[in-house]
Amino acid sequence: TFDELDATACEVIEGSIPHDFPSGAYLRIGPNPRWVRPLSTYHWFDGDGMVHQVRFADGAAQYSNRWVRTGKFVAEDRLQFPLFGGLAAEKNLLMLTYHFLLNLVSKDLVPPLAGAPLNGNCNTNLVRFAGKVLALQELSMPYELD
């Protein structure tokens, strides 16, 4: 989904959630496509990170989700346009040239984001560390979730 959803009641299809089921939340992260990039094909590694949560309490469950607001996400959100070629973008010289020029131009279009790198989409894993939940991906530093 492209939209962030606030807490929405989950319908139990079969059986029921026991009333004494422990309260808490199940979190997962994954890549969600946000933009159709011109001259490019989509690879699922390219999707921006979206955290999905199912919260359990009092025999009921609610679903919500949120984008991980990386430097890349914020920059593209400001322009409402994809700035970076994806994993499958550089398949021919035309695509390579387009994404190279777009990356050059984007540095002037987007003001610096307090030193936040513009690469990485934090769509791979979640960890709890020192009482904080961090979104991870191999290309960037962790992002703390609130």
Mean pLDDT of 99-109: 62
* Average pLDDT of the chain to the nearest whole number: 81
Cα–Cα distance measured from residue 15 to residue 145, given in angstroms and rounded to the nearest whole number: 33
Percent of the chain at pLDDT above 90?
Answer: 42
Mean pLDDT of 87-115: 60
- Residue 131 is predicted with a pLDDT of 94
DSSP strands (E only) in 87-146: 125-129, 132-137, 140-145
Binning pLDDT at 50, 70 and 90, where does residue 37 land? low
Bigger pLDDT: 114 or 50? 50
Cβ neighbours of 31 (radius 10 Å): 19
Identify the CA nearest to 49 among candidates 67, 64, 26.
67
Binning pLDDT at 50, 70 and 90, where does residue 110 land? low
Binning pLDDT at 50, 70 and 90, where does residue 99 land? low
Cα–Cα distance measured from residue 123 to residue 66, given in angstroms and rounded to the nearest whole number: 12
Mean pLDDT of 32-51: 77
